[in-house]
Amino acid sequence: MTGGVCDLGQLMPVDEAIQRLLDQAPTPPLAQMIGLDQALGRVLATDIHSLVNLPAWDNSAMDGYALRAADLPSQGGYLPIGGRIAAGDQAGLPLLAQQAVQIFTGAPLPAGADTVVPQECCRIDGERVWFPSVSAGDHVRKEGEEVRRGDLLLKAGKRLRAQELGLLAGAGVARVAVHRPLQVCLLSSGNELREPGDALARGQIYNSNRYCLSALLRGWGVEVHDYGVMADELAASRDALSLASSECDLLLSSGGVSVGEEDHLKRAIEELGSLDFWRLAIQPGKPLAFGEVAGKPWIGMPGNPSAALITALVVVRPFLLRAQGVTDVMPVPLAVPAGFDWLQRNKRRQYLRARLTPSADGQLSVALHPQQSSAMLTAACWADGLAVIECEQQVLKRDTVMFLSFADLMH
């Protein structure tokens, strides 16, 4: 890998743009109490501490036999069976000396037992069972070994996945305080845009961004309010933005922010609030605008479909997650060998549509789609992530590149 100093000129580094957005993220919406069955994808508003030990009592990790390790000779031996305990049963009477009880996974250990022997390691002989050599504590889940009463279960700012819901349920938590879903309005700009299924006249295109961006937003846990297409007129833009700002927490639009485009959208933003126009050192997706409309944050993304997709994934996503109260908002890239040569130096950081493929030695490497146009989505459909090429960087095959997985970026 070879690189050099990147002269950005008037281009803002991507990381700086993201940090500026995070610094200006609004306070998350107020909290509400909901049941666990409604909490998937929601963001915790408060820390949660465990009210119980997990496990609540010593229990068996296997189907087998519970015994006292000291009752067996070091080489193993026979013990009589003195009972049976299934999951859901009470532990019952204490274990008698020189005796074992049949036990099933999850069942409580009787007092006096300290070891479980899996049934496949044993040999039944009438009313007694032969056991191999054991060590005290084998196959026993000890009370509180996962969580102790009072331990922090989950911190505020955690977006709840299936595993967090399972942990909360296992600790007996039925309801959680989460932030209200962020209300985001989505607008498109461009007289050329038409809906799928409509007939197209020359110069018209279908509005792919409306469906792509709306799907991304829903995947990030926000409630999307679709305000359709704004006509390329000052009054129409002003009216649409004014209405959206009165009904939503945050505004997003695509199109109408590139250099040379008609400035109705920008003028409307300035009349209703404030506008910062940034040219980012990113490819695709250089033009990006940020501002506020009647006190509500607004981000204007490029109109080209791949540029809109990538700026949304890389720049907008962290901002929206932080605005929902999420603490950890930045994706963690994978360092993977390149399966390609990339010799063209660029003054912008490039996010190339790529996928992970097994190489001849069985190791994963990054392969690129041959078409990297900012206007085309076929490469993104083929890809399972983005290969990141820093500005002025050249990459040779087997050099290490950073790879961002769509599975992470779209969550």
Q: Are the CB atoms for 366 and 1 separated by under 8 Å?
A: no
Residues 319 and 232 both lie in one domain: yes
Euclidean distance between the first and the last CA atom of the chain, given in angstroms as a whole number: 31
Length of the chain: 411
**DSSP string covering 87-125, please?**
TTS---SPPPTT-EEEE-TTPBPPTT--EEEEGGG-EEE
Choose the final residue of a domain: 141, 160, 193: 141
The pLDDT assigned to 262 comes to: 56
Give the total number of structural domains in the chain: 4
Written as one string, the DSSP assignment of 138-153 is TTEE-TTSSB-TT-EE
Find the CATH number of the domain harbouring 41: 3.90.105.10
Q: Rounded to an integer, what distance in angstroms lies between the CA atom of residue 174 and that of residue 62? A: 28
Q: How far apart are CA 199 and CA 28, in angstroms?
A: 42
In angstroms, the CA 293 to CA 271 distance is: 9
We report the CATH number of the domain holding residue 24 as 3.40.980.10
DSSP H or E stretch at residue 382 = helix 378-382
Residues 306 and 357 in one domain: no
Can you tell me the mean pLDDT for 5-32? 87
Calculate mean pLDDT across residues 4-10.
Answer: 55
Q: What is the CATH number of the domain that holds 351?
A: 2.40.340.10
Do 28 and 75 lie in one domain? The reply is no
Coil, strand or helix: which one is 264? helix
Look up residue 389 and give its amino acid: I
CB atoms within 10 A of CB 350: 20
> Which of 303, 323, 343 is a domain's end point?
323
Q: Residue 134 carries which side chain, given as an amino acid letter?
A: V
Give yes or no for residue 10 having a pLDDT over 90.
no
- State both tokens at 307: 């540029």
Kindly list the distances between the CA atom of residue 153 and the CA atoms of 44, 54, 172, 321, in Å, as whole numbers in the listed order.
12, 11, 12, 21
Same domain, 23 and 99: no
> Is residue 408 within 8 Å of residue 394, measured between CB atoms?
no
Tokens of 152: 């922090």
Q: Same domain, yes or no, for 200 and 278? A: yes
Pairing of strands 31-35, 175-179: antiparallel
Q: Give the percent of the chain with pLDDT over 70.
A: 96
Residues 116 and 42 in one domain: no
Q: Across 128-272, where does the E strand assignment appear? A: 128-131, 140-141, 152-154, 175-179, 183-189, 193-194, 205-206, 223-230, 250-254
Residue 91 included in any domain: yes
What would the mean pLDDT of 384-388 be, rounded to a whole number? 98
Structural domain contains residue 376: yes
Q: Which of 208, 258, 211, 212 is nearest to 232 (CA)?
A: 258
Q: What angle do CA 180, 254, 279 make, to 5 degrees?
A: 105
**Phi/psi of residue 338, nearest 5 degrees:** -75, 135
Note whether residue 113 is domain-resident.
Answer: yes
pLDDT digits (tens, 9 = 90+) for 179-200: 999 999 999 888 888 989 999 9
pLDDT of residue 9: 63
pLDDT at 7 over 60: no
In a domain, 6, yes or no: no
Closest C-alpha to 136, from 116, 106, 110, 111: 116
Q: Is the pLDDT of residue 309 over 60?
A: yes
Contacts of 168 (CB under 8 A, 6+ apart): 36, 48, 153, 154, 160, 176
CB atoms within 10 A of CB 10: 7
Mean pLDDT, the chain, whole residue set: 93
CB contact at 8 A, 284 and 389:
no
Model's pTM, two decimal places?
A: 0.88
**Can you read off the two tokens belonging to residue 176?**
């959680």
Instruction: Judge if 65 and 198 occupy the same domain.
Output: no
Residue 227 and residue 169 share a domain: no
Are 156 and 192 members of one domain? no
User: Is the dihedral angle over the CA atoms 307, 308, 313, 314 positive or is it negative?
Assistant: positive
Note the pLDDT tens digit of each residue in 141-161: 999 999 999 999 999 999 999
Question: Does a structural domain hold residue 18?
Answer: yes
Q: How many CA atoms lie within 13 A of 369 on its CB side?
A: 20
Query: Would 329 be classed as within a structural domain?
Result: no
Using the predicted structure, report yes or no on whether residue 207 has a pLDDT greater than 70: yes
* 3-class secondary-structure state, position 312: helix
- Do residues 204 and 192 make contact, with C-beta atoms less than 8 angstroms apart? yes
Backbone angles phi, psi at 106, to 5 degrees: 90, -10
Shared domain check, 129 and 160: no
Residue 5 within any structural domain of the chain: no
User: Comparing C-alpha atoms, which of 373, 399, 367, 371 is closest to residue 386?
Assistant: 367
Question: What confidence score (pLDDT) does residue 259 get?
Answer: 56
- As a whole-number percent, the residues of the chain with pLDDT over 90 amount to 81
Determine the average pLDDT of the residues in 121-126.
Answer: 93
- Domain encompassing residue 369: 334-409
Same structural domain, 197 and 299: yes
The reply to whether 226 and 319 lie within a common domain is: yes
Residue 133: which CATH number? 2.170.190.11
For the segment 257-285, what is each residue's pLDDT rounded down to a tens digit?
A: 765 555 688 888 999 999 887 889 999 99
Q: In whole angstroms, what is the distance from residue 207 CA to residue 212 CA?
A: 9
The answer to whether residue 221 sits within a structural domain is yes
Task: State the DSSP string of 331-374.
Answer: ---EEEEBSS-B----SSEEEEEEEEEE-TTS-EEEEE-S---T
pLDDT recorded at residue 92: 78
Tell me, what's the pLDDT at 276?
87
> Would you call the peptide bond into 284 cis, given omega within 30 degrees of 0 as the criterion?
yes
